[in-house]
Amino acid sequence: MLDLLSNTHTPMLPPINFCSQCGKGVEQKIPQGETLPRAVCPACQTIHYQNPKIVAGCIPERDGKILLCRRAIEPRHGLWTFPAGFMELGESTEEAAARETLEEANARVRIQTLYALFSLPHVDQVYVVYRAILQDLNFGPGEESLEVQLMPIEAIPWDQLAFPVIRETLHRYVEDTRRTQVQVHFGAI
Amino acid sequence: MLDLLSNTHTPMLPPINFCSQCGKGVEQKIPQGETLPRAVCPACQTIHYQNPKIVAGCIPERDGKILLCRRAIEPRHGLWTFPAGFMELGESTEEAAARETLEEANARVRIQTLYALFSLPHVDQVYVVYRAILQDLNFGPGEESLEVQLMPIEAIPWDQLAFPVIRETLHRYVEDTRRTQVQVHFGAI
């Protein structure tokens, strides 16, 4: 069973009450040619869509070890994750993963291959995770991290990981490493 | 050089003028602990994030042929695409790809493997494309399609494809087929 709370980075998207374009109160209705109810502005006719968000991240690798961060922010303050965060406008998923790694771990990575694509439909997120090469050893906690460690996979703190999707991704990563075989993983969690 | 217009499914996200929660006019400012300006409501303090959207689709395969749709809607009315569309809240990327295929081609597919993940940073979209098995031959145009054809790859209408990302994905697909090798493709287009 999915533990909703333990998957939640942010609260689910709040309902739309007012038009972000003109400020009038919206109506819930099914626009012509569509099948789902949307928030529609009766004044300016804008249809307000809400869609899942992408969380982009990477597993930074060096000398057989991986870089993990201990969170300095809620939710899951104090628990461990690989660098990952919400993708911004105007960037690619690879750029987003590298930027988050720089922000959270002050670490420079070279993105290598796509490793995992996991949907979290209950929290409207899609995780896109790459394998990456950690470029140098000049890393350290960014504002959102308490500490950052380059650790052997035997040292992964399984009972101190921040989210189920982090655990699932790292679990598969360790399994792949043991098999000396790497595949792309995808599915819903 | 990227042709912006030819990648555009929808106009770029319009700016946020009013708070969707309380209806007050928003201010552009950098929230504490963040690095980018956001639309922030001075009344209820809601921070309004805007993020890229996922377009989920699939290449439905049967008997060495693939299923393509000719668009009945703008943009790119009359041009060809594989089934794909914006992911909705509460679904996985696989479910979104299958739903879009049902809506656009009245076709039932079984999603097989992840095939491509392409970022379109200039239009704030990320394409997630699967290979899928077309379950039966009972397909036909949905409301958004003029016609639907199961066609051999030699018949792909290269000069009549709707978007560069569709062309790039199908180009790689054909190349992979010739090499009898299939890999996951990713990157920015």
Would an 8 Å CB–CB cutoff place B50 in contact with chain A?
yes
Put simply, whether A88 touches B (Cβ < 8 Å) is yes
Strand order through the sheet with A47-48: A27-29, A38-40, A47-48
Share of chain B above pLDDT 90, in %: 86
Closest to B79 measured CA to CA, from B87, B70, B88:
B70
What confidence category does residue B189 fall into, taking pLDDT thresholds of 50, 70 and 90?
Answer: confident
Can you tell me which residue has the tokens 């979104």?
A: B96
H or E element, residue A134: strand A125-134
Q: Is a pLDDT exceeding 90 seen at residue A9?
A: no
Strand-pair category, A145-152 with A84-86: unpaired
Cβ <8 Å between B119 and A25: no
pLDDT tens, position by position, A10-47: 446 788 999 999 999 999 999 998 889 999 999 999 99
CA distance B170 to B175: 8
pLDDT higher than threshold 70 for residue B92? yes
Q: Does A172 touch chain B (CB under 8 A)?
A: no
pLDDT tops 50 at residue B2:
no
Q: How far is A62 from chain B (nearest CA, A)?
A: 23
Q: What is the pLDDT of residue B152?
A: 98
C-beta atoms of B52 and A87 within 8 A: yes
Using a CB–CB cutoff of 8 Å, tell me whether B133 touches chain A.
no
Distance in angstroms (rounded) separating the CA atoms of residues B39 and B172: 40
B33 touches chain A (CB under 8 A): yes
| A152 band by pLDDT with thresholds 50, 70 and 90 | very high
**Alpha helix (H) ranges present in B76-140?**
93-105
Cβ A53 vs Cβ A124: under 8 Å = yes
In 3-state terms, what secondary structure has residue B33?
Answer: coil
Mean pLDDT over B137-151 rounds to: 97
User: What are the backbone angles phi and psi of residue B162, rounded to the nearest 5°?
Assistant: -70, -40
Considering only CB atoms, A54 lies closest to which of B35, B48, B54, namely: B54
Nearby residues of B113 by Cβ (< 8 Å), 6 or more positions away: A186, B130, B131, B182, B184
* % of residues, chain A, pLDDT over 70: 94
pLDDT for the residue B181: 79
Residues A53-96 have pLDDT tens digits of 999 999 999 999 999 999 999 999 999 999 999 999 999 999 99
Q: Which residue of B has its CA nearest to A128?
A: B117
How many pairs of residues across A and B have Cβ atoms under 8 Å apart?
133
pLDDT confidence of residue B148: 98
Whether residue B143 lies within 8 A of chain A, CB to CB, comes out as yes
